[in-house]
Amino acid sequence: MTCAIVTTFPLCSSAMPISSNYPERGFCRDCLALQKAACKRCDACGSPRVVRHAELYELNLAHIDCDAFYAAVEKRDRPELRHRPVIIGGGKRGVVSTACYIARIRGVRSAMPMFKALEACPEAVVIKPDMEKYAAVGRQVRAMMQSLTPLVEPLSIDEAFLDLSGTAKLHGKPAAMVLADFSRKIEAEIGISASIGLSYCKFLAKVASDLAKPRGFSVIGKQEALEFLASKPVTVIWGVGKALSATLEQNGIRTIGQLQTIERTELMRRYGVMGDRLYHLSRGQDDRRVEPEHDVKSISSETTFDSDLAAFDDLIPILRALSEKVSRRLKAADIAGHTVVLKLKGSDFKSKTRNRRLPDATQLADRIFTTGLELLRKETDGTRYRLIGIGVSDLGAPTTADPPDLIDAQARKRALAEGAIDALREKFGGKPVVETGYTFGRKVRTRPAPDQDN
Ligand SMILES: [Mg+2]
């Protein structure tokens, strides 16, 4: 296929200008040479890693994801492990955190219990995670991304969206080549590899980066989006988890192609707000912008009930379970919050929030819960609620959080008990092995799917 000329880039040095007369000729990912002919291998260096696509020089939205990140960092630091199966994990949680690609071929997967992983791959080298080291490497990778564009939106320690629109002049080459250059650089300078997805929107950039791991470079253009998506399972769509895919399956919908045949109003009638998302994403329509890193303002958790609740006693165990969830997330992120926020939504869909600022910041489920409970007591006046949420805002470092409470000896005891519960929970892989009296034996009446964490 030959496209009209849309872009010409005045490339530096002796390289010839990129003419999208022949976009399908592409360029070599190893030596970046533009291809003179549509051969399989690079006509300059002979590498098979030539990327070609009709829209190659028009696409600017990328998702970069480092390959088997923790394992890759360890292999970099211990070259003798390079050709051996490596599993990062074990420790208190007893599950696989990351497996290198050699271990993956043997059937090892993330989140697999360690004993199972070792059954599948007994000769694997198991290394305890060194989060400090990975965070430092993650920061290096992030800094390199930010040198390409200010529009970098991190999704985790080792992956991010990048919007490279308008950067071609600055770099003297189109986004596709900037990205290929980036992946060469992190291999050479940091010693790990990444996979890149290039598209016109976030959804498809993320799907693309997953297509050819490790060291992948996949492109999904506008022209092919509909057809590309049609054969894929609905679970490829962001936000379609186990619960929703089961519901869709009950309605006979397994592929994105099936969603493409259903009207928007019908999808919204069936699945509410999510129906709108299903409609647009199934058609490759995603106008979310790349949002550069911003500070988290609050951490909260909420749930919608199967049927509306009004009684204080019915709401107590739910509030407790949500408080524990918020607390776990605060502790995991190593932050604390100063203000407890209770959210309630009535059967009339009207929301209200109630806040209370604590004398000092907290990470403790018990403090979040007892404060939330005081706020809730005033709101249980017979009003029927369909949703309850609890969270904390005014976030900061946990250094001065939860000081030993000399006045309230009971609170101190409860804080110590909570520490013990946390330790047990961690030992048993995060499962609620210990329940407090608030939730024990109580059926916490929430719908399975719509738990939302913000
Ligand atoms: Mg990754």
To the question of whether residue 210 is assigned a binding role by annotation, the answer is no
CB atoms within 10 A of CB 448: 10
Phi, psi of 367 (to 5 degrees): -75, -40
> Ligand 1 mean position to 72 CA, how many Å?
10
For all residues of the chain together, what is the average pLDDT?
Answer: 86
pLDDT interval class at 447 (50, 70, 90): very low
Supply 205's token pair: 């950039």
Query: Are the C-beta atoms of residues 281 and 361 closer than 8 Å to each other?
Result: no
Of 11-15, 28-32, 311-315, the range with the lowest mean pLDDT is 11-15
CA distance 290 to 229: 22
Q: How far is the CA of 79 from the centre of ligand 1 (A)?
A: 20
Measured in Å, residue 64 CA sits from the centre of ligand 1 at: 8
Number of H helices, E strands in the chain: 15, 17
Model pLDDT, residue 409: 67
Which residue blocks in 186-294 are alpha helix, DSSP H? 202-209, 225-230, 242-250, 256-260, 264-271, 273-282
pLDDT of amino acid 432: 53
**Is 158 annotated among the ligand-binding residues?**
yes
Determine the distance separating the centroid of ligand 1 and the alpha carbon of 68, expressed in angstroms. Answer: 6
Q: Give the whole-angstrom CA distance, residue 336 versus residue 426.
A: 19
Burial class (CB in 10 A: 0-12, 13-18, 19+), 75: buried
Catalytic residue (choose from 55, 74, 153, 159): 159
Q: Which residue matches tokens 């070599």?
A: 28
What gap in Å lies between CA 358 and CA 342, rounded to an integer?
Answer: 13
Least confident of 183-192, 359-368, 425-434: 425-434
* C-beta atoms surrounding 98 within 10 Å: 24
Q: How many Å lie between the centroid of ligand 1 and the Cα of residue 69?
A: 5
Query: Which of 299, 298, 262 has its CA nearest to residue 280?
Result: 262
- pLDDT (0 to 100) of residue 452: 42
Q: For the residues 350-370, what does the mean pLDDT come to?
A: 91
pTM: 0.64
Helix/strand/coil for 169: helix
Largest Cα–Cα separation, the chain: 80
Active site residue 159: yes
Task: Give the distance, in angstroms, between the CA of residue 96 and the centroid of all CA atoms in the same chain.
Answer: 18
- From the CA of 63, how far away is ligand 1's center (Å)? 11
* CA 307 vs CA 84, 186, 324, 352, 390: distances in Å: 54, 52, 23, 19, 19
Domains and CATH numbers, the chain: 1-53 (no CATH), 59-223 (3.30.70.270), 226-282 (1.10.150.20), 298-453 (3.30.1490.100)
What's the start-to-end Cα distance of the chain, in Å? 45
Query: Alpha-carbon distance 373 to 446, whole Å?
Result: 18
Residue 419 is predicted with a pLDDT of 77
CA–CA distance, 357 with 365 (Å, rounded to integer): 15
Burial category of 254 from C-beta neighbours within 10 Å (exposed 0-12, middle 13-18, buried 19 and up): middle
